[in-house]
Amino acid sequence: MRLRLGQSVQATDGEFGEVGDIIVDPVRRTVTHLVVQPHRRHYQARLVPIALVSVEDDTAMVNLDGAGLRHLQRVSDSEFTRLGEPIDVGPEWDIGTEDVVSMPSMDAEYGMWSYDDRVTVNYDRIPRGECEIRRSSAVLSADDHEVGTVEGFLADDEHLAGVVVRTGRPGLRHFVVVPIDSVARVRNDLITLTVDEAAFGALPFTDDVLGQHHSPSRLTGLEHRAARALRSIAARLGRGERSS
């Protein structure tokens, strides 16, 4: 089963949205839930047990209709609280990914912007003891270098078989499959590998590991120009010419 962040989600009565995040049991190395949301509306995301999901032609099929999906547990929440103050989500839940928003305020007497210790925390509520991975989740090598971000997972039923890492600079981005045996730890928003940066760089890469073709047409104009320039320089160097 190929699970991709951003993957299309289909309910029994039609399209519902996309896979926003993936919930993992870090001890058993299994996928337990998908965070499914209408396109770009994470505040409406729902927690879908993996037992309800199958994958067909790069689409996550959920064995519920749209109304049934909307009755599942809501994931996203927010709280206005003091910086560092714990948020109580109840005994059955943990906080998964979170983003802290600090808003400045104007000092009326001195006309200066200032910050207090009250912030808005946007967070996801997930089952206790589990971890949440999103597309921006970092992948660290064993020697603490960020080598990329998570693109998705390969799974044998719910058991993880590998992590798909998006890596490389604009115009040279590609995907590397890291076997699950080379994963040291899975935590909220972070995966740490057992291999160092050099060993990761030696892993083979592919453009179609998750059942979709990442063709050059999906690059931005800037990425196109950068890629063309690099290819031109490489060709000239291969002919023994100097770049001017």
List, for residues 31-65, the tens digit of each pLDDT value.
999 999 999 899 999 999 999 999 998 899 999 99
Nearest to 36 by CA among 52, 19, 60, 24: 19
List, for residues 127-174, the tens digit of each pLDDT value.
999 999 998 899 999 999 999 999 999 988 789 999 999 998 777 788
Encoded tokens for 237: 């160097």
Q: Are 95 and 126 in contact (CB under 8 A)?
A: yes
Which residue's entry shows tokens 């160092």? 196
Most confident of 4-18, 83-97, 206-220: 4-18
Nearest to 100 by CA among 124, 76, 83, 86: 83
| pTM tops 0.75, yes or no | yes
List, for residues 174-222, the tens digit of each pLDDT value.
899 999 999 999 999 999 999 999 999 998 877 665 555 443 333 344 4
Domain boundaries, the chain: 2-73+131-213, 78-126, 215-244
Sheet strands (E) in 38-129: 46-49, 53-56, 59-62, 76-82, 93-101, 105-107, 112-114, 118-127
Say which residues have a Cβ less than 8 Å from residue 71's Cβ, sequence separation at least 6: none
**φ and ψ of 57, to 5 deg:** 50, 50
Nearest to 166 by CA among 137, 194, 132: 137
- Residue 242 pLDDT more than 90? no
Q: Are 9 and 25 in contact (CB under 8 A)?
A: no
Interval 218-242 mean pLDDT: 48
CATH 2.30.30.240 fits 2-73+131-213, yes or no: yes
